[in-house]
Structure 1
Amino acid sequence: MSTPDDTPSTTAFDDEAVLLVGHGSRREKSNEQVRDLAADLESRLGIPVDAAFLELAEPAIDEAFAELATIVSRVTVVHCSLFAASHVKNDVPLAIEQARAAHDVEIANGSHLGIHPAIVDLLDDRAAAVERELGVDRGTDDVAVVLCGRGSSDPDANGDVHKLARLLYEGRAFDRVEASFVGVTEPTLEESLHGLSKHRPDAVVVLPYMLGDGVLTQRVRDWTAAFDDEYPYVDALAGDPLGTDSRLLDVFADRWQEARTGSVEMSCDTCKYKVDLEGYEEDVGGARAMLRALAHQGAHADRDDVDDEPHSHDGPAKHVAVCTNRTCAEMGSPAVIERLRQAARDSDHCDARITRSSCLGRCGDGPMVAVYPDGIWYGDVDRNDAERIVTDHLDRDRIVSDLVDRTL
């Protein structure tokens, strides 16, 4: 675990900065917590640390990269995301690839906060604070804990919530520790609370497993209060989110060091984009994830006139993703993306963003080129075909039918 004494001197990193990426919230208090963490991490590491957000807050990631590219040549991305779901696996990598194409800057991508001893200790302290407020003692009273995560469509991320709940239970005198979710997956917090009522514990401690004090945290508090009113024989209270506790800096510092030294570890053995998981077979290869990420990014351009959406992007009419994974690269995809960009610059009508993509799951049929929002995938594209894709599809919205590999 990193400590201030482990941190290298600032002279070793005078051309490096860190971008701390948060999700963004409609509650400015939650966004300020991310900015406070960035300031604290800057003091810890001794190098510039800026905050950026995926949505709902400013600055956006592309704006932050543009700013940092004027002052440093290396940027390390550190995630505020608790688990590796779509934002970590899709949205941020897409933004990084676009920044690499737009700026002369080296970018290293770190991993999510994940499972870390400092977080388990922090959750233990959050539970102890609720116990004190309720006037119970886990050593003598039956205290049940519900760890409530946001919930994800990624089974790997949901599985980590259960793992974290188990680690919190091990070696501690809780009667039980269960994992639950606000939504998307099951069990929901309401289901978990009503299930616990049958065991008649003396107290139920609900821990909102969120970073900031945002909308979802308040929802957890409201549901817990409703349960407390409905079951007078059980005292129930929700604790605080992770917030800006200094122990998070230990995790961020570790993730920063892993990223800049190329030792980032991801849970690929249980990633739905890598392996066949029951019920998620269509996600293998990441194709739908890539299109979802592009749609998510482009959707911000439609929010200009919405008062409660404080930021927007000037999204292009189309996104073009070119697979530059090893097989497609060996088949000529770098030349394809170069020609696509050149033809787009030469065109008077082309309104498209052209970016690199990781594997699209069509190895051997490449180079692969995907055009969104049309959902058209072109296969076996060569340098000359790239010009046709621009002049026909991107300029005149006419599909190049002889190149179509698949449609989504």
Structure 2
Amino acid sequence: MPLDHAVDPEAFRQEVREFLRTELPPALVAAYRRSSAVVPDPEIGREWQRILNRRGWGAPHWPAAFGGTDWTPAQHYIFETECADADTPPVSPFGPRMIGPVLIRFGRPDQQQRFLPRILAAEDQWCQGYSEPGAGSDLASLKTRAVRDGDDYVVTGTKIWTSSAHVADWMFALVRTSDQGKPQEGISFLLIDMRSPGVSVRPILLIGGDHEVNQVFLDEVRVPVANRVGEENQGWTVAKYLLEHERGGGLAGVRFRRAVQRLRRLAAAEEAGGGRLTDDPAFHARLVQAELEALTLEAMEARLMAEAERTGRIGTGASPVMVKRGEVRQLVTELTVEAAGLYALPWGTPRGDTNEAPVGPDWAAPAAAAYLNARATTIFGGSAEVQREIIAKQILGL
């Protein structure tokens, strides 16, 4: 990561370390380490978001005019590296990393004034209403319909795999407002109050035991036209911009690299899997592979972040990053289960809300659930197959 010579990197690193030393609650770190969910626990992320916001770091990647930091790419990298070392819990991506940038780019001034400060302060929890039972990777085939009735839209349909919907205050959703022309041309982007009459949420338990996703039913829900972002039937443009941030925002590579380094230390202990796994050449080779893959992801993310800083857009470069992230997460969680051995088998609930102490070391308790839940990382947000099609067509020109 090239450094901006106007910024003293070591001074900034010490500033971040001091902040983490004094402001990061140990209870949040412990709760995050117990978690097996792909999307961070909403309450853990909300508390950490509030702490960051009090320091003025609630959304470092936003423009300073909207509460961001105007950090250089090097500062972003240093911040993420130090957070990875400290095991800070990730904040929920749906507010600061997804709907926030959309409102900054496409929102009206009144929408920005209403929602952005509450996102920064974690006063509103958001969820994403994109996928439907018959419209996942083929998002343009969505059926949830919004019919104009005076100053409102009347919305009817269902959304599925909706992370954090059970605790969300608001949903940003794609709805069909026209059947004319191409499927993408009849979609609008709405902000839906989850407390509205007609909204109901049904939990979906993942294979790892986490309640992370839900199905949301919308039964003639009235949504003010004022809650539309962008023009009617132009929501596909807004949606694509948001997907850039979902797929390419953030820096996960450094966390995965730190996870592999910790895993190497754990695997060297006698308690790991009943023996020293680092003495096994095959396991050691896979650890090296995982670290190299994490380093590759780290470099891809740094390049993407620098490009976004230069152009103001993440663009199609988000697709290869998303594919690599899913693959690395799956590899790291697989190796963690292998290192934990039999200790990965018994677990009560992934959140740790059980009266029984974990069998074996604490780090092994969520290993199996995290491995199972990570299977979804090459599916959600657009499957790996869809991302490879984007890479082939839009990047390689095939």
TM over 0.5: no
TM range (shorter): under 0.3
Q: Which one has the largest radius of gyration?
A: 1
Q: TM-score, normalised by structure 2?
A: 0.23
Higher helix share: 2
